[in-house]
Amino acid sequence: MSDQNNSVNLKFCKKCLMSNARPRIRFDASGICNACNYLSEQNKIDYKERIEELKDILKKYKSKKGYYDCIVPWSGGKDSSYIAHRLKFEFGMNPLLVTFAPLIPTDEGMKNRENLIKLGFDHYYFRPNQNVSKLLSKRFFFERGNPKVHWDAGIKSIPLRVSIEKKIPLIFYAEHGESHYGGNPLHKKSSKILDLNEIYENNIGDVPQNWVDEEITEKDIYPYTMPSEDELKESKIKPYFFAFFDKWNVYNNFEYIKSKINFHTHPKGRTPGTFTNFDSLDDHIDQVYYHMQFIKFGFGRASRDASRQLQNNLISKKQFFQYVKNYDHEITTDDILSFCKYIDISTGEFSEIVDKHRNEEIWNKTSNGWDLRFKINEKIINEN
Ligand SMILES: [Zn+2]
């Protein structure tokens, strides 16, 4: 595809090749994205000091009564398991693991959670009303092309609720996505401590109270609502991001957890839609989520993964090109069927909604179907 249909000014980061179609990403004057700049800043940080700061915090919160010292919001994936394992076995804490259930749980996710729990963790598994969850998934898929908006709210809210109820004020979320992956951190401290306004503005794009309608009541949306700022203050909740204190690297997290437990990767050897096999393994719905990013913004799961690997100098730009070309568009029939069954629609309706979300500045309708107007090509790679 040539660049002649240049109705949108698409740019690619000179370092990681992520496109400016990614929501909230920003580029500096030399064409480098904010995720790459954040990583460069991280590389200059003295993490020995940060770990000392972490140790001081842990010391302060370590329970004297043998009760839980902290909460780890925990999917059972490589990152949150890495955090839980280090807190317990390296720092001698007694964390309570809190899971907001995946929407369509996978066997690998379940096995991985069991394998960590076996090492001696207490686990709180919260599964909200599935009738409501399915209705919300369907609604958000239809309206926003994202079937897990409410899940994004739940994974933030339930650990906060449990923290208040059980009086465990210290929480360790994993990384601050807006800083690490190119987003819109609202202030400088955003990468250290969770900010409710960011959740509303960046993660959910809404307040859950707006989801109430003739089908969904105020009671139904409780699991997705955040405690108020006042409640958090009153209970002295400290919701930190562990990655602030640690030289965060998802590949190292994977290597770490693989050396501690029998960590299951994707059973097919490669997760469809990408070339990796080790992350986002807990929920079948993720396949639809990443596919919809491809539809809405023109970059899929392979682009996301390849871009992160480029940032860390793990692959070449040529490899990036191959991975994106081979896998970005891919979604399996099984994944589509399990999603359609979950929200009770036909595959015909699924395709209709997918097409409704195609951004025509990014997609071109041809006699053979849809084609991306802009693709990473040799020319872009050589220019960068
Ligand atoms: Zn970049």
* pLDDT tens digits, 52-103: 999 999 999 997 676 899 999 999 999 999 999 999 999 999 999 999 999 9
CB atoms within 10 A of CB 110: 14
Give the pLDDT of residue 384: 65
Q: 5 CA distance to ligand 1 centroid (A)? A: 24
- Ligand 1 centroid – CA 273 distance (Å): 21
Distance between CA atoms of residues 266 and 277, nearest Å: 5
Residue 244 confidence (pLDDT) above 90: yes
Per-residue pLDDT band for 5 (boundaries 50, 70, 90) equals very low
Domains of the chain with bracketed CATH: 44-244 (3.40.50), 266-383 (no CATH)
Those residues with Cβ within 8 angstroms of residue 384's Cβ, 6 or more apart along the chain or in another chain: 12, 14, 15, 17, 31, 317
Angle (deg, nearest 10), helices 34-44 and 301-311: 30
CA-to-CA separations, 364 to 2, 137, 195, 229, 358, in angstroms, rounded: 12, 28, 39, 46, 9
Task: Measure 172 CA to ligand 1 centroid, in angstroms.
Answer: 26
Structure tokens at 179: 């800083």
**One-letter identity of residue 382:** N
Average pLDDT over residues 322-348: 96
Centre of ligand 1 from the C-alpha of residue 26, in Å:
9
**376, 317 Cβ separation under 8 angstroms:** no
Centroid of ligand 1 to alpha carbon of 310 (angstroms): 9
Q: How far is the CA of 10 from the centre of ligand 1 (A)?
A: 14
Cα(28) to centroid(ligand 1), Å: 10
Ligand 1 centre distance from Cα of residue 43 (Å): 15
CA of 254 relative to ligand 1 center, distance in Å = 22
Q: How far is CA 231 from CA 19, 162, 169, 226, 237, in A?
A: 39, 13, 12, 10, 9
d(CA 7, CA 193): 39
Q: Separation of 263 CA from ligand 1 center, angstroms?
A: 30
The DSSP annotation for 342-353 comes to HHT--HHHHHHH
Separation of CA 314 and ligand 1 centre (Å): 14
The reported pLDDT for the residue numbered 96 is 98
- Confirm if 312 and 35 have CB atoms less than 8 A apart: no
Confidence (pLDDT) at 66: 64
- Per-residue pLDDT band for 290 (boundaries 50, 70, 90) equals very high
> Is 50 exceeded by the pLDDT of residue 260?
yes
For 171-194, b/e burial (b = at least 16 CB within 10 A) is bbbbbbbbbbbbbebeeeebbbeb
Q: What is the DSSP letter of 86?
A: I
Paired residues of 363 in beta bridges: 372
> Is a pLDDT exceeding 70 seen at residue 3?
no
Structure tokens at 190: 């955003």
Q: How far away, in angstroms, is 16 Cα from ligand 1 center? A: 4
> pLDDT per residue over 182-234, tens digit each?
777 777 788 899 988 888 887 788 889 999 999 999 999 999 999 999 999 99
User: How far does the centroid of ligand 1 lie from the alpha carbon of residue 106, in Å?
Assistant: 31
The pairing of strands 369-372 and 363-366 is antiparallel
Task: Report residue 1's pLDDT band, with 50, 70 and 90 as the boundaries.
Answer: very low
